[in-house]
Chains A and B, each alone.
Chain A
Amino acid sequence: MNRLNLHTLGPIVALIALIILGAMLNPAFLAPANITNVLARSAFIGMIAVGMTFVITSGGLDLSVGSMAAFLAGVAIIAMNAVAPALGVHWGTILLGMGVALLGGLAAGWLNGALVTKARIEPFIVTLGTMGIFRSLVTWLADGGTLSLGSGLRTLYRPVYFGGIGWITWPIITFAVVAIIGEWMMRHSRFGRHVEAIGSNERVARYSGIDVNRVKLMTYVLLGLLVGLAVVLYVPRLGSASGSTGVLWELEAIAAVIIGGTALKGGTGRVWGTVVGVLILSLIDNILNLADLVSPYLNGAIQGVIIVLAVVLQREKSTADER
């Protein structure tokens, strides 16, 4: 039991080490403004990564989330700009845009899930395909340029990213709520137990009477919905979407899930670990920007080393457990 605790606490130890390092390198690191910045910018990847935890735990994978986010942001902006002249610049228009993003997310997630479960195509291939499709569609919608929200709507919508309760802005609150619900679902709900059962042994799960296809479909739909939620909070930040929005978000989300201790082959999911993983990734970026430790050319290398190290430490411990 004691050993298990040490093993699961690995990511948290890494996170605390990073926080101490950051505080030592630059006092501005612990200023409330910087903490708000880091947490708020983690929120997009964070919410997506919580959804990704369920998909990966069930033995699936979704490479399309970054492109999906860009596409949904584009569609939501177009929808809001289109109804603004008729409905006027008020919250109704923005709620409609939010609805478009969330429903679009549901639909896109359902599409991925249906192709995986009904058409029985490998998740890697399905989502590699939809990744290209969503990315092209947003470039096409923007005619190669950038889709921008009208300035009146933008001013109105802006506080959704930048406002909040004191320094705790809405993205941070939403991310926290999503993480808590996600953790509860994974640990205590029947859905979470089914997801883990399917990921560890799909055939046994099927024989135990679990509707495997339905549960798998639901993991993709849940992820799509969370991508939609991330878009709802992303659009007010810069008020625009283009072909370069959300590039590589999928890999950041997957990396966060794995750093957090969820097995890439499925079976065990740890939502709180994912949250820690996301924070580790954001903090590395933040510390590198604040500290001038190395040439900026090497930032990617530092990130890569930390990601691999975090996973190597866990693997060593789990092989020790198996022995």
Chain B
Amino acid sequence: MQRRNLMKAAALAATLGMVAGAGHAQDAEKKVIGVSIPSATHGFMGGLNWHAQDTIARLGKAYPNLEFVLATAGDAAKQVNDIEDMMATRNIDGLVVLPFESEPLTAPVKAVKEAGKFVTVVDRGLSEEGIEDLYVAGDNTAFGRVAGEYFKTHLPAGSKIVVLRGIPTTLDNERVEAFQKALGSDVEILDMQHGNWNRDDAFTVMQDYLSKYPKIDAVWAADDDMAIGVMEAIAAANRTDEMWVIGGAGMKEIVKRIMDGDKQLPVNVTYPPALISSAIEMTALRFVSNAPVTGRFIIGSQLITPENAAQFYYPDSPF
């Protein structure tokens, strides 16, 4: 958190410097894009923060007349403050925001829009429709469906699987419902418990599944952090050869193992933290080109297989 604040201080100093220097560079017509995202509290958000910083550094070089302001917030109230600060002191022209929560962020983002700025909303929609110019998000239904289809086609009828769920949220419900629908009725789901997208919780839940069920053919861990806990529990019970595991989101360690052809991890389903990069890139295009970028951009969830894994592998990302 401290480093984030330091970085923010640096960003603020850079912006102030820019504002001070704006008099000289009027003809270059500088545009400022504010980026407001949740801070890196778990693996996925850590990856998202990394991709945001990476994209901003690259775009800053590619388009000298674009200036970026990045703010990370640990809760919704802090994010509202960040956005108000961006409007009041940094005079942004565009805003890319991944709302911490939908409800509390709706009014402040609406105010930005009403001030005539370009607004891009990422991943979590606002509670009122029609505010944003551009909506960029992952596809939770496809995330569940792609995994469900893989289980259906790769398991013989009558197979038995167990499922680990995330933190109880609508997002998790969408994924699980789509998974069950795609799976059909030939494969039996023995159990579904919450592993809370956490390695330790998933380890515990999987240990108990292994005690409870003498035969399990496959596991939908639904998240790569949970997949790591699950695989550890399976290894400790010496049942590695009995079942395979599908995680999700495309963590680099998992993608690496798929690349290496690990039998226990045949595939993975993407829900890329790099979706923030798509949002920032498209918002930048709004200011540097004539390409139309308004509308909705839904990033499909793809199947990572040993053949295509290399293109999903980001060794430098923390996730």
Contact = CB atoms under 8 A, between A and B. Distances in A.
Given A31-B211, A238-B203, A139 B43 contact: no
A145 B191 contact: no
Contact of B232 (A238, A292, A297): A238
B42 A290 contact: no
A33 B207 CA distance: 9
B253 A292 contact: no
Contacts of A244: 41-42, 198-199
Q: Which of B39, B42, B45, B192 has its CB near the most chain A CB atoms (within 10 A)? A: B42
Interface string B195-206: 000111001110
Interface stretch (B46-54, B98-106, B292-300): B46-54
Contacts of A290: 208, 211-212
A238 B212 contact: no
B206 to A, nearest CB: 10
Contact of A237 (B1, B225, B232, B319): B232
A296 interface: yes
B237 interface: yes
Interface residues of A, number: 34
B211 A34 contact: yes
A201 interface: no
A193 interface: no
Contact of A296 (B2, B193, B318): B193
Contacts of B253: 148
A292 B191 contact: yes
Nearest to A241: B199
Nearest to B319: A145
Given A143-B40, A289-B193, A41 B211 contact: no
A191 interface: no
B165 A296 contact: yes
B204 A41 contact: yes
A144 B43 CA distance: 7
A160 interface: no
Given A140-B1, A292-B191, A145 B43 contact: yes
Interface in A171-229: none
B143 interface: no
Given A148-B253, A162-B236, A242 B42 contact: yes
A296 B40 contact: no
Nearest to B207: A37
Nearest to A151: B253
A245 B200 contact: yes
B3 interface: yes
B229 interface: yes
B209 interface: yes
B205 A143 contact: no
B211 A37 contact: yes
A3 B317 CA distance: 62
B35 interface: no
A162 B236 CA distance: 7
Interface string B164-182: 0100100000000000000
Contacts of B204: 41, 285, 289
A139 B3 CA distance: 10
Nearest to B205: A289
Interface string B157-169: 0000000010010
13 contacts: A29-B211, A31-B211, A34-B208, A34-B211, A140-B1, A144-B318, A238-B200, A243-B41, A243-B42, A244-B42, A286-B208, A289-B193, A299-B194
Given A143-B318, A238-B232, 16 more contacts: A37-B211, A136-B1, A143-B40, A143-B46, A144-B40, A144-B46, A148-B253, A162-B236, A238-B199, A238-B228, A238-B229, A243-B42, A289-B204, A290-B211, A290-B212, A296-B194
